[in-house]
Amino acid sequence: MLRPPAWNGVAIPGAGFGFSPNARLSRHPHRRGLLIVSASPCEDCRQVFSAGENDRKLADSLEEHFPGCQCERYSVGDGSPGPVADDEVLHRIIVSPRDYDPDSNTIRSPLFEKVFANGLSVCRSIATDAELAALVEEGLVHTASETPKQVWGICEAVTSDIREMRGNDNERLFCVYDQTVSRTNKTTLPFPTHAGIFLRWPPKGTLDRKILRKDFAGRLREKFIANTLKPDGVRSGLFCALNDRAQAGEFRSD
């Protein structure tokens, strides 16, 4: 699915990205990462997300094969309503203690460092209450030996603000895709209104790349934390109801 001409993304080069037609996405037998072979630009993008959902090198693979956020103008997620628009608000649901450290009263930094691995998971504001509840319910599952989890807060940011973030060399830092993710129950459809944020800069071989990537992930963390909402102020108490169910042991897995 193509965005209209006014779309702010980077223009895509010639169809097929120079790959041969009628091909597939697979893993190279002797190399780490994904081997891209093309059927069409849209299908190429969809396949790399489908094959790499749990690949911690997915951010690097995207920039290697589709540099400059080229896949943003295509719908890449199964069941997605379409690419993420600039004016959409994105939510990161903060679950304690997974994402939040109650001792230091801080949102954990490693959560946002997924942005340079297999992506930072966020929920689109167009999600229905049912979709949002289903997503959060899976995040609240815990074992009998663990303390019940709770939704501590909801951090949000506007998509255009994320896409406009730049590095010191004025290179765009982040791509936002309508990436959907698998459910715990693999027989059910993916979450349709999930999205993924990926860091695309600096490129491999850059001096102090590891430090720079953590710094950029920290800047994204600050962007989200700047607008943090408490559960009782969102979706007419949806998250408070989920917290009550969690406290009652409904999401204990054994």
Residue 160 falls inside a structural domain: yes
pLDDT average, residue stretch 58-84? 96
Residue 61 falls inside a structural domain: no
Is the peptide bond prior to 190 cis by the omega test (within 30 degrees of 0)? no
Inform me whether the pLDDT recorded for 140 exceeds 80. Answer: yes
Residue 222 falls inside a structural domain: yes
Neighbour tally for 35: CB within 10 Å? 15
Residue 8 falls inside a structural domain: no
pLDDT per residue over 101-120, tens digit each? Answer: 989 999 999 999 999 999 99
Cβ neighbours of residue 140 closer than 8 Å, sequence gap 6 or more: 95, 148, 149, 150, 151, 242, 245, 246, 251
Nearest alpha-carbon partner for 94 in 84, 102, 83: 102
Residue 186 falls inside a structural domain: yes
Q: In angstroms, what is the C-alpha Rg of the chain?
A: 19
Residue 16 falls inside a structural domain: no
Residue 253 falls inside a structural domain: no
Domain count along the chain: 1
Cβ neighbours of residue 156 closer than 8 Å, sequence gap 6 or more: 89, 90, 91, 92, 125, 224, 227, 228, 229
Alpha-carbon span 196 to 180, nearest angstrom:
8
Inform me whether the pLDDT recorded for 15 exceeds 50. Answer: no
User: 175 and 61 in contact (C-beta within 8 Å)?
Assistant: no
pLDDT per residue over 24-64, tens digit each? Answer: 444 433 334 454 455 588 999 999 998 888 899 999 999 99
Domain span at residue 198 reads 74-247
Residue 197 falls inside a structural domain: yes
